[in-house]
Amino acid sequence: MGVGYNVQIAVDGKHKLIAEQEVYNQVLDLGLLAATTQAAMETLDVKEIDAVADRGYFKIEDIEACEKAGITAYVPKPIRGLAIREGFFPKEEFLYDPSTDVFICPGGATLSPRYEGKLRENKRVDYCNRAACKGCALKPRCTANTYRRVFRLENEAVLDRMAARLASRPGILDRRRESVEHPFGTIKQWMNQGAFLMRWLDNVRGEFSLTALAYNIRRAITLVGVPGLIAAVKA
């Protein structure tokens, strides 16, 4: 729990209306994608939905929960990890072959499963090839240890499927920026709400509920006009 409030919104990509909103005092977005999207699904009365989010939402347990709930998630993988910080080949340079359960390293060697452990609640398997690393010309670019390990989680196939979806729809992240940033920009600029007036979580949630309602009304007027909005309310 951190100091401040974290606003989560689900935005309709076509009309830029807020379909769901919630306020947390959790600083990070990790773990909030499935919950926010499921609430939007209930509001929209749909059983399947696409959810596009930025790297801050990349958490394998959350992506897996989305898949189980009928949510097709599109979340780019953050570029992070010890290998990245030390300037070595990232894990993405090691190609996994699910048919043989091995990794192929940048030097063309096969890394096989050798060690098992736990990462949070997930089973973790480390892949390596000590003999290949010993005489590899690329070793200075790969690891400072005697050999390189690459790990895979037991549920990592869910990330493979998401990576394939992102590759097949390269422009979808641009659409996310156009959609979700529209309400935030409007609320901050037009409504002059760069900070909350209230304090304490329940009060802030009430404040932002009114903000989201006001935004949606104004957006609906822009889309269909006042007569159209009145007709929709009467219907």
3-state SS class at 53 = coil
Contact status, residue 132 vs residue 107, Cβ threshold 8 Å: yes
Report the number of distinct structural domains present in the chain: 2
| Three state DSSP letters for 38-85 | HHHHHHHCCCCEEEECCHHHCCHHHHHHHHHCCEEEECCCCCCCHHHH
- Of 106, 132, 155, the residue at which a domain comes to its end is 155
Nearest by Cα to 60 from 72, 41, 75: 75
Together in a domain, 19 and 123: no
- Of 136, 155, 174, the residue at which a domain comes to its end is 155
Rounded distance, CA 107 to CA 46, Å? Answer: 47
State the average pLDDT for the chain.
92
Structural domain that includes position 56: 6-75+162-234
Together in a domain, 70 and 170: yes
For the stretch 85-141, pLDDT in tens is 899 999 989 999 999 999 999 999 999 999 998 877 789 999 999 999 998 999 999
Confidence grade of residue 233 (pLDDT, cut at 50, 70, 90): confident
Report yes or no on 1 lying in a domain: no
- Between 135 and 74, name the one with better pLDDT: 74
Together in a domain, 144 and 206: no
Together in a domain, 71 and 167: yes
Together in a domain, 89 and 58: no
For the stretch 42-64, pLDDT in tens is 999 999 999 999 999 999 999 99
pLDDT at residue number 180:
84
